[in-house]
Amino acid sequence: KLEENYGDATNESRKQEMGGKDPSPPELLKRIEKIEAELMQKEQRLLKIDFLCESISDLTDRMRAVVESGRQEMLLFARRSNELQREINHKTQEIRALFAELSMKQALAIKLQQEIRDKEQSVMTASLTISQGLSPSTAQKDGWKILESEEIQKAAAEVSQSFQSQPINKRTGIHCEISSTFCYFPWVDLPLPLPFSCTAMQAAVHFSKCCTA
Protein backbone atom coordinates (compact mmCIF):
# COMPACT_ATOMS: atom_id res chain seq x y z
CA LYS A 1 0.00 0.00 0.00
CA LEU A 2 2.76 2.40 0.90
CA GLU A 3 4.65 1.49 -2.24
CA GLU A 4 1.57 2.22 -4.36
CA ASN A 5 1.00 5.61 -2.71
CA TYR A 6 4.57 6.88 -2.37
CA GLY A 7 6.66 4.78 -4.73
CA ASP A 8 5.89 6.82 -7.82
CA ALA A 9 7.85 10.07 -7.89
CA THR A 10 5.45 11.67 -10.39
CA ASN A 11 2.46 11.19 -8.12
CA GLU A 12 1.50 14.56 -6.71
CA SER A 13 -0.51 13.03 -3.93
CA ARG A 14 2.63 11.75 -2.28
CA LYS A 15 3.46 15.27 -1.10
CA GLN A 16 2.62 16.16 2.47
CA GLU A 17 2.53 19.65 3.78
CA MET A 18 4.50 20.19 6.96
CA GLY A 19 2.96 22.52 9.46
CA GLY A 20 4.83 25.11 11.50
CA LYS A 21 6.66 28.37 10.91
CA ASP A 22 10.11 28.63 9.32
CA PRO A 23 12.63 30.53 11.48
CA SER A 24 13.94 33.83 10.27
CA PRO A 25 17.56 34.23 9.09
CA PRO A 26 18.71 35.91 12.34
CA GLU A 27 17.25 33.06 14.34
CA LEU A 28 18.94 30.55 12.07
CA LEU A 29 22.23 32.42 12.51
CA LYS A 30 21.87 32.35 16.30
CA ARG A 31 21.12 28.65 16.21
CA ILE A 32 24.13 28.05 13.96
CA GLU A 33 26.38 30.05 16.29
CA LYS A 34 25.04 28.16 19.29
CA ILE A 35 25.58 24.82 17.59
CA GLU A 36 29.11 25.89 16.54
CA ALA A 37 29.89 26.90 20.15
CA GLU A 38 28.61 23.57 21.43
CA LEU A 39 30.59 21.78 18.74
CA MET A 40 33.74 23.68 19.72
CA GLN A 41 33.23 22.75 23.37
CA LYS A 42 32.79 19.13 22.42
CA GLU A 43 35.92 19.27 20.26
CA GLN A 44 37.84 20.71 23.21
CA ARG A 45 36.52 17.94 25.41
CA LEU A 46 37.54 15.41 22.79
CA LEU A 47 41.03 16.94 22.67
CA LYS A 48 41.27 16.71 26.44
CA ILE A 49 40.09 13.12 26.30
CA ASP A 50 42.67 12.35 23.58
CA PHE A 51 45.41 13.95 25.69
CA LEU A 52 44.32 11.96 28.72
CA CYS A 53 44.28 8.79 26.63
CA GLU A 54 47.81 9.47 25.40
CA SER A 55 48.99 10.20 28.94
CA ILE A 56 47.33 7.04 30.23
CA SER A 57 48.86 5.06 27.37
CA ASP A 58 52.34 6.42 28.17
CA LEU A 59 51.84 5.71 31.85
CA THR A 60 50.61 2.21 31.03
CA ASP A 61 53.67 1.58 28.88
CA ARG A 62 55.97 2.74 31.67
CA MET A 63 54.13 0.60 34.17
CA ARG A 64 54.36 -2.37 31.83
CA ALA A 65 58.10 -1.80 31.46
CA VAL A 66 58.48 -1.54 35.24
CA VAL A 67 56.46 -4.72 35.72
CA GLU A 68 58.57 -6.56 33.14
CA SER A 69 61.76 -5.32 34.78
CA GLY A 70 60.40 -6.35 38.16
CA ARG A 71 59.57 -9.76 36.78
CA GLN A 72 63.14 -10.19 35.54
CA GLU A 73 64.45 -9.01 38.89
CA MET A 74 62.14 -11.46 40.65
CA LEU A 75 63.44 -14.28 38.48
CA LEU A 76 67.03 -13.28 39.25
CA PHE A 77 66.18 -12.95 42.93
CA ALA A 78 64.51 -16.37 42.97
CA ARG A 79 67.49 -17.91 41.17
CA ARG A 80 69.93 -16.29 43.58
CA SER A 81 67.79 -17.37 46.53
CA ASN A 82 67.84 -20.96 45.30
CA GLU A 83 71.63 -20.83 44.90
CA LEU A 84 72.04 -19.40 48.40
CA GLN A 85 69.69 -22.04 49.79
CA ARG A 86 71.74 -24.78 48.16
CA GLU A 87 74.93 -23.26 49.57
CA ILE A 88 73.34 -23.02 53.02
CA ASN A 89 72.28 -26.67 52.85
CA HIS A 90 75.77 -27.68 51.72
CA LYS A 91 77.43 -25.68 54.49
CA THR A 92 74.95 -27.12 57.00
CA GLN A 93 75.89 -30.64 55.94
CA GLU A 94 79.57 -29.76 56.19
CA ILE A 95 79.05 -28.32 59.67
CA ARG A 96 77.16 -31.43 60.75
CA ALA A 97 79.94 -33.61 59.37
CA LEU A 98 82.51 -31.49 61.22
CA PHE A 99 80.51 -31.77 64.43
CA ALA A 100 80.32 -35.54 63.99
CA GLU A 101 84.06 -35.70 63.33
CA LEU A 102 84.70 -33.45 66.32
CA SER A 103 82.61 -35.75 68.50
CA MET A 104 84.61 -38.73 67.27
CA LYS A 105 87.87 -36.88 67.92
CA GLN A 106 86.69 -35.92 71.40
CA ALA A 107 85.74 -39.52 72.15
CA LEU A 108 89.11 -40.68 70.84
CA ALA A 109 90.90 -38.02 72.91
CA ILE A 110 89.04 -39.14 76.03
CA LYS A 111 89.94 -42.74 75.28
CA LEU A 112 93.60 -41.84 74.72
CA GLN A 113 93.67 -39.80 77.92
CA GLN A 114 92.29 -42.78 79.78
CA GLU A 115 94.92 -45.02 78.20
CA ILE A 116 97.64 -42.53 79.17
CA ARG A 117 96.40 -42.52 82.76
CA ASP A 118 96.32 -46.32 82.74
CA LYS A 119 99.85 -46.47 81.32
CA GLU A 120 101.08 -43.95 83.89
CA GLN A 121 99.48 -45.96 86.65
CA SER A 122 101.06 -49.13 85.26
CA VAL A 123 104.49 -47.47 85.08
CA MET A 124 104.15 -46.16 88.63
CA THR A 125 103.14 -49.60 89.85
CA ALA A 126 106.03 -51.23 87.99
CA SER A 127 108.50 -48.66 89.37
CA LEU A 128 107.22 -49.24 92.87
CA THR A 129 107.50 -52.99 92.42
CA ILE A 130 111.07 -52.70 91.08
CA SER A 131 112.10 -50.31 93.86
CA GLN A 132 110.86 -52.81 96.42
CA GLY A 133 112.81 -55.62 94.72
CA LEU A 134 109.69 -57.61 93.94
CA SER A 135 109.00 -59.51 90.75
CA PRO A 136 106.30 -58.10 88.46
CA SER A 137 102.85 -59.61 88.61
CA THR A 138 101.36 -61.83 85.93
CA ALA A 139 99.16 -58.99 84.64
CA GLN A 140 102.18 -56.71 84.33
CA LYS A 141 104.13 -59.40 82.49
CA ASP A 142 101.23 -59.93 80.10
CA GLY A 143 100.98 -56.19 79.55
CA TRP A 144 104.66 -55.89 78.74
CA LYS A 145 104.41 -58.86 76.38
CA ILE A 146 101.49 -57.25 74.58
CA LEU A 147 103.38 -53.96 74.33
CA GLU A 148 106.47 -55.75 73.02
CA SER A 149 104.34 -57.63 70.48
CA GLU A 150 102.82 -54.34 69.31
CA GLU A 151 106.27 -52.81 68.91
CA ILE A 152 107.44 -55.85 66.94
CA GLN A 153 104.40 -55.65 64.67
CA LYS A 154 104.98 -51.94 64.15
CA ALA A 155 108.64 -52.54 63.27
CA ALA A 156 107.65 -55.36 60.90
CA ALA A 157 105.10 -53.07 59.23
CA GLU A 158 107.77 -50.40 58.76
CA VAL A 159 110.13 -52.99 57.27
CA SER A 160 107.38 -54.24 54.95
CA GLN A 161 106.62 -50.70 53.84
CA SER A 162 110.31 -50.04 53.22
CA PHE A 163 110.49 -53.30 51.28
CA GLN A 164 107.53 -52.30 49.13
CA SER A 165 109.23 -49.00 48.30
CA GLN A 166 112.38 -50.73 46.99
CA PRO A 167 113.02 -50.91 43.20
CA ILE A 168 111.49 -53.82 41.28
CA ASN A 169 113.20 -55.94 38.68
CA LYS A 170 111.50 -55.04 35.41
CA ARG A 171 112.09 -58.48 33.94
CA THR A 172 110.80 -60.63 36.81
CA GLY A 173 108.67 -58.11 38.74
CA ILE A 174 110.33 -59.17 42.05
CA HIS A 175 111.90 -56.95 44.70
CA CYS A 176 115.58 -57.79 44.28
CA GLU A 177 117.48 -55.99 46.98
CA ILE A 178 117.06 -54.11 50.21
CA SER A 179 119.31 -52.23 52.57
CA SER A 180 121.74 -54.45 54.46
CA THR A 181 120.64 -52.83 57.73
CA PHE A 182 117.62 -55.15 57.74
CA CYS A 183 119.24 -58.11 55.95
CA TYR A 184 122.18 -59.40 57.95
CA PHE A 185 123.59 -59.51 61.42
CA PRO A 186 125.89 -56.56 62.18
CA TRP A 187 128.87 -58.76 63.13
CA VAL A 188 128.77 -60.95 59.97
CA ASP A 189 130.64 -59.79 56.84
CA LEU A 190 129.24 -61.05 53.55
CA PRO A 191 130.49 -60.10 50.08
CA LEU A 192 127.09 -59.54 48.40
CA PRO A 193 123.51 -58.97 49.64
CA LEU A 194 121.10 -61.83 48.94
CA PRO A 195 117.37 -61.46 48.19
CA PHE A 196 114.90 -62.85 50.68
CA SER A 197 111.21 -62.64 51.51
CA CYS A 198 109.34 -60.24 53.79
CA THR A 199 108.97 -63.00 56.41
CA ALA A 200 112.72 -63.42 56.61
CA MET A 201 113.11 -59.68 57.05
CA GLN A 202 110.64 -59.66 59.95
CA ALA A 203 112.50 -62.55 61.57
CA ALA A 204 115.83 -60.76 61.08
CA VAL A 205 114.48 -57.58 62.64
CA HIS A 206 113.05 -59.50 65.57
CA PHE A 207 116.31 -61.38 66.07
CA SER A 208 118.36 -58.18 65.77
CA LYS A 209 116.06 -56.46 68.28
CA CYS A 210 116.41 -59.34 70.72
CA CYS A 211 120.21 -59.36 70.31
CA THR A 212 120.60 -55.62 70.76
CA ALA A 213 118.29 -55.72 73.79
Same domain, 113 and 41: yes
Same domain, 112 and 159: no
How far, in Å, are 76, 95, 98, 103 from residue 86 at the CA level? 15, 14, 18, 26
Residue 11 is assigned to a structural domain of this protein: no
Same domain, 125 and 152: no
Give the Cα separation of 208 and 40 in Å (integer): 126
How far, in Å, are 132, 149, 189 from residue 118 at the CA level? 21, 19, 45
Same domain, 145 and 179: yes
pLDDT at site 189: 52
Same domain, 73 and 125: yes
- Domain count for the chain: 2
Least confidently predicted of 23-32, 137-146, 166-175: 166-175
Categorize the per-residue pLDDT at 198 as very low, low, confident or very high, splitting at 50, 70 and 90.
very low
pLDDT at site 146: 74
Looking at 91, 120, 135, the residue that finishes a domain is 135
Looking at 103, 135, 167, the residue that finishes a domain is 135
Residue 149 is assigned to a structural domain of this protein: yes
Same domain, 159 and 97: no
Residue 17 is assigned to a structural domain of this protein: no
Same domain, 150 and 184: yes
Residue 16 is assigned to a structural domain of this protein: no
Paired strand residues for 131: none
Same domain, 64 and 159: no
Same domain, 52 and 121: yes
How far, in Å, are 113, 133, 150, 213 from residue 127 at the CA level? 21, 10, 22, 20
Residue 5 is assigned to a structural domain of this protein: no
Least confidently predicted of 4-8, 42-46, 115-119, 207-211: 207-211
For residues 111-132, average pLDDT: 84
Cα–chain-centroid distance for residue 94? 10
Residue 3 is assigned to a structural domain of this protein: no
Looking at 135, 156, 180, the residue that finishes a domain is 135
Question: What is the extent of the structural domain holding 151?
Answer: 138-213
Same domain, 111 and 192: no
Same domain, 131 and 164: no
Question: For 34-87, what is each residue's pLDDT tens digit?
Answer: 999 999 999 999 999 999 999 999 999 999 998 888 888 899 999 999 999 999
Same domain, 115 and 65: yes
Residue 15 is assigned to a structural domain of this protein: no
pLDDT at site 60: 92
Categorize the per-residue pLDDT at 204 as very low, low, confident or very high, splitting at 50, 70 and 90.
very low
Give the Cα separation of 137 and 128 in Å (integer): 12
Residue 2 is assigned to a structural domain of this protein: no
Categorize the per-residue pLDDT at 173 as very low, low, confident or very high, splitting at 50, 70 and 90.
low
Per the prediction, the chain carries an average pLDDT of 76
pTM of the model: 0.37
